[in-house]
Amino acid sequence: MSKQVYEHHLSFLLQDIVAADLLSSFTKPCIINALTLDSRDVQAGSLFVALSGSCRHGLEFALTAEKQGAAAIIWEADEDYCKPDVAIPCIKIDDLRQHLGIIANRFYAEPSKQLDMIGVTGTDGKTTVTHFIAQAFNTTANVAAVIGTLGIGRPNAVIETGYTTPDVLSVHQALVRLKQQQLAHIAMEVSSHALDQGRVNGVAFDVVVLTNLTRDHLDYHQTVDAYAAAKAKLFAWPTAKTLVLNLDDEFGVRLVNEHQVRVNTGEIKIIGYGVGNAADYPVGSLIASNPRYTMQGIQATIHFHQQVTHLDVPVLGAFNLYNILAAAGSLVGLGMSLKEALTRLGNVDTVAGRMETIVNDQGILVVVDYAHTPGALEQALQAIRKHTTNRLICVFGCGGDRDRGKRPLMARIAEQNADMVILTDDNPRNEMPFQIMNDMIQGLKSPEHVAMEHDRHKAIRFAIQSAAAGDTILIAGKGHETVQIVRGETHQFDDREQAAMALRAQQDNKIQGV
């Protein structure tokens, strides 16, 4: 596939952002053929974007950018900096971060307008919802991709970026690449940081989704109200025609009320979703009633307008029922029938390491989950309890060189919510494993009833040897991770592989009568 070449006049890119008389003051046409935030990536014809960072301002690299062939520089206004002595156009722009998405969108010829764009925000569930949406579209053909925490690309072939939502130039560059790959539907995680910093500006979202809103990221936003305000920006997005909102979430209900006038005028439509008695929700809501949780997944009756249909999905946990509804609402918002949406969602896989089941024929439900905080562990245990016929066994540890305060809390939560607890190591890093274990023990009410095994491989094997048909084993903490870090050294270790090996060994022993 040939690489598309983009070339634009600087005046076109900055139209309505910079004063027209300033743009006309440049005597020579300024042609831009690349955008970059990093002076090291500047090439002949680049527009170097100099932003103010936490330690340094990009303007400090203006001379370097000029020497490497930059055609022009735009820089974020900062009272501590003034225009550098360069011969190329160098333009100060107030609130440059907020304008950068518009500039990138123009440069790359508005790629998002040629795609179905679904933006998903919320405290929890963004990754899962976007993957469910993309998997549903890909049931019949590879036409959908995700942008989010796990990376960019088709759900089974993402390329890691290290960010939930990348910087705004990377976002638009990614959309160009995905469009060139003949993908038509993009499900994108949109973090509160990204909304506040303008990282998705210029993206033409068609459908926007709220999973939920709970206390989080207050180190950045300072208050819950500021956090909510950042999230709310997505639901006033000018291109969005459908809002998919959680009606069992207080913030979701607030958004419904705030945007009701727009619904009444026909500007947008709202698809609200929830779990409960359909009669208790507004007419036309997408509601799952009478949910049934089994070792195989979740079944429920779905109500939507005058339709009543059946849901059967191979995922675990009440929170994943909400994630399925959010995905279904998104698909319907893009024009898919509810029946088709639910049929496709009936074939989805969970995100790697997120309530991921390890298939076996021994009647034991074995689940690997990334839960590594007190709240996440409690949610995982309570969710999986509904799928458990007999005992619930929990294997987990706490990471070294991390928050010591959560260790006793997590042990107490495991003791309170599981029938059997096995404490083990989870990336002790540079700490002594016995010290981490001792910290966890402090949270136990009856430590004599809790098993302790530093070797995580042996701990998983012991859990499976202790289980009987109808039991559930939750192996928590590492999820999709594939290494164990001990004394600064990295060792191959995958909970999913270890569980599968232990299950096979257990089955072999039964066959041999051991």
The architecture that CATH gives domain 8-101 is: 3-Layer(aba) Sandwich (3.40)
pLDDT value of position 221: 55
Which stretch of DSSP H or E encloses residue 452? strand 451-452
Q: What spatial distance separates the first Cα and last Cα of the chain, rounded to whole Å?
A: 58
Residues 227-275 have pLDDT tens digits of 888 899 999 999 999 999 999 999 999 999 999 999 999 999 999 999 9
- Asked whether the whole model's pTM tops 0.95, one would answer no
pLDDT value of position 213: 87
Q: Which two tokens stand for residue 191?
A: 């973090």
pLDDT value of position 125: 87
pLDDT value of position 513: 65
Distances (CA, A) of 488 to 91, 430, 437: 47, 6, 18
pLDDT value of position 1: 43
- 111-345: CATH topology is UDP-N-acetylmuramoyl-L-alanine:D-glutamate ligase (3.40.1190)
pLDDT value of position 324: 98
Are the C-beta atoms of residues 423 and 450 closer than 8 Å to each other?
Answer: yes
Beta strands in 2-137 (DSSP E): 8-9, 31-32, 34-36, 46-50, 72-76, 90-93, 116-121
The architecture that CATH gives domain 356-512 is: Alpha-Beta Complex (3.90)
Segments of the chain with pLDDT less than 50: 1, 215-217
Residues 6 or more apart whose Cβ sits within 8 Å of residue 236: 259
Max CA distance (Å), the chain: 89
Are the C-beta atoms of residues 111 and 173 closer than 8 Å to each other?
Answer: no
Q: Give the start-to-end residue ranges of the domains of the chain.
A: 8-101, 111-345, 356-512
